[in-house]
Amino acid sequence: MELSGSQIVIEELKANGVEIAFGIPGGAIMPFYDEIMKSEFPHILTRHEQGATHMADGYARVSGKVAAVITTSGPGATNTITGLCNAQMDSSPIVAITGQVATPTIGTDAFQEADTYGCSIPVTKHNWLVKDVRELQGVVREAVRVATTGRPGPVVIDFPKDVQVAMTEYNPLEKTETALSAEPVFRIPEPDTKAIERLLEELERSEKPVIIAGAGIIKGGAAAELAEFARSAEIPVINTLLGMGGFPGSDPLFLGMPGMHGTAYANMALCECDLLINLGGRFDDRVTGKVAEFAPGATIVHVDIDAAELGKRVETDIPILADVRDVLALLNTQARKKDRQAWLGKVEAWKRDYPLQYDWDGSIKPQYVIEQIQEVSEGEGTYISGVGQHQMWAAQYLRFNEPNSWVSSGGLGTMGFGLPASIGAKVGRPDREVWLIDGDGSFSMSLVELATAATYNIPVKIAILNNNYLGMVRQWQELFFEKRYSHVHFPKSPDFAKIAEGYGVRGFDVKDVDQVRSTLEQAAEIDGPVVMNFHVNQEENVWPMVPSGAGNHEMQLGPQSTEKLT
């Protein structure tokens, strides 16, 4: 059967489990959009291509499925770069299909021509420029496979206009067949039995073990295995920012987040532990602080699916290149229980003595809003954040009890991620209520996607913690630049509730702490998107804090306590 390039891409997306696309048409992608319409391929029209990439990212993180992003050439394609980079940093799969000028004009500075292939190399797991329609079937198949297997990540298919209309013979393949002869990108090795034995020996010897569980637990579907291991071996668990939900936040063994804005007790456990088992985390600099002073007394075990992560930042005693789920399955059959009441008692005491806390002064405290969101949603929602102070408070004060219930931009720290990611998350898991906790600065960077939420009536509940500041930068300026607030103040913050109404979205403006709860309850009842503009305390800081470049033991607890931990 003869099909056009556009038809082949649609057929292959469907055959390989891609169920939806986010995108915007334009000149160089029109033949493909024509086919999207004819084939009725599900598609959400966004207002900006960056929004489309974050939507696909949020969609993937909650559903475990991969979505397509479709843009035109030139600016359409370059607008995806931030979103692709974000997905690359946080190991989120995206298949981006970018229109390109016709092959004979490539390289002539044609209208809306950009070197999408070259631009996307450093921000993707792999990318293709398809110049021959006969390659298309294999490329789409490989693209989905590369994006979703091993350590997931974004891919780009640059799709010239003439290839979109070129005809070629098309034969559907079985799902498992690959049309290219390429070696698998990732062959995941079996866990090295010697390394596992060493880990078991260390575990047996250890009096003070602790686990750091990263996003690998969630992406590897290993949350149940982790819970079984931690509970049976009685090891406290620290979740990284992106690992939240990989271990139940309600479990007594849960220690919250490590590092720069981690809990005091997580950082204390890291400083004192004698065995640190990192399961699918990447020892980010925000986690370790000064590497030389990180977990100084510990034997360090690192399990990761990506060889390039092992030993990258922290010298590792027992590196294990494997699927974290396979390793946990082995540990669950072989690890023996050991009585470590003294250690668990010590950790418990830290949790009691150094809890997360904030003061009351009659203003709306951002932490309070987050606690109320947790209560109103009964912890059953999907929670999304932008990037900034609100993100740290959300990670501190929300309690995630299942995987894929928390979506945040970790590695790249992309302000503006929140709103489009929430829309994608709602599309990916429509059964769950989606709550976006955003800052006024972060929200402003992508609020245009309110139009998308309104058009498709995607009911995301948006809580803006509005402090009229780029709050995280202001906090650093306060602490490290002697309060010289250089260009972080928004004295004329817009009326976000009115803006929402302008987009046809319900808006609330909340200035009184007594209205916080009732507004959230009202929002939960509304069948559609809602924007709540909470005027929070403007100079609230995120505590605890490890100053940039310091060791985790140099953590400052905040104004309530001048005590420095040593």
Partner 1 sequence: MRQVFSILVNNHAGVLSHVSGLFARRGYNIESIAAGPTENPEATRIVIVAFGEEETLEQIAHQLRKLYDVLEVEQLQYNRSVTRELVLATVSADADKRTEVLQIANAFGANIVNITDNTVTLEASGNDHKTRILIKALERYGISNMARTGMIALPFDEMTDEWEPLA
Which residues of this protein are in contact with partner 1, per CB under 8 A?
117-118, 121-122, 125-127, 129, 146, 182-183, 185, 306-308, 311-312
- Give 44's strand partners: 22
Comparing CB distances to partner 1, the nearer of 182 and 349 is 182
Cα–Cα distances in angstroms (integers) from residue 560 to residues 174, 389, 397, 544, in the given order: 63, 18, 18, 10
The minimum distance between CB 40 and partner 1, in angstroms, equals: 32
Q: Which of 8, 285, 292 is nearest to 130 (CA)?
A: 8
Rounded CA-CA distance 205/202 in Å is 5
Comparing CB distances to partner 1, the nearer of 307 and 349 is 307
The minimum distance between CB 308 and partner 1, in angstroms, equals: 4
3-state secondary structure (DSSP) of residue 502? helix
The minimum distance between CB 307 and partner 1, in angstroms, equals: 5
Comparing CB distances to partner 1, the nearer of 311 and 558 is 311
Comparing CB distances to partner 1, the nearer of 306 and 554 is 306
Rounded CA-CA distance 101/86 in Å is 26
The minimum distance between CB 124 and partner 1, in angstroms, equals: 10
Q: Which residues contact 315 (CB under 8 A, 6 or more apart)?
A: 300
The minimum distance between CB 123 and partner 1, in angstroms, equals: 11
Extract the tokens encoding 310: 């092992």
Q: Which of 524, 492, 486 is nearest to 508 (CA)?
A: 524
Q: Which of 126, 163, 131 is nearest to 145 (CA)?
A: 126
Residue 402, number of CB atoms within 10 A of its CB: 16
Comparing CB distances to partner 1, the nearer of 120 and 372 is 120
Extract the tokens encoding 109: 């500075």
Instruction: Provide the H-helix boundaries in 220-365.
Output: 223-233, 264-272, 285-288, 324-334, 341-353
3-state secondary structure (DSSP) of residue 379? coil
Sign of the C-alpha dihedral, residues 222, 224, 228, 234?
A: positive
Q: How many contiguous H segments (helices) and E segments (strands) does the chain have?
A: 23, 19
Residue 433, number of CB atoms within 10 A of its CB: 19
Q: What is the DSSP letter of 106?
A: T
**Strands (DSSP E) along 63-123, which ranges?**
68-71, 94-100
User: H/E element holding 165?
Assistant: helix 161-165
Comparing CB distances to partner 1, the nearer of 291 and 526 is 291
Comparing CB distances to partner 1, the nearer of 146 and 237 is 146
The minimum distance between CB 4 and partner 1, in angstroms, equals: 23
Beta strands 406-407; 460-466: pairing state = unpaired
The minimum distance between CB 134 and partner 1, in angstroms, equals: 15
Catalytic positions, please?
A: 49, 111-112, 161, 472
Rounded CA-CA distance 44/164 in Å is 21
The minimum distance between CB 126 and partner 1, in angstroms, equals: 4
Comparing CB distances to partner 1, the nearer of 306 and 402 is 306
Rounded CA-CA distance 450/531 in Å is 9
From the number of C-beta atoms within 10 Å of its C-beta (0-12, 13-18, 19+), residue 186 rates as middle
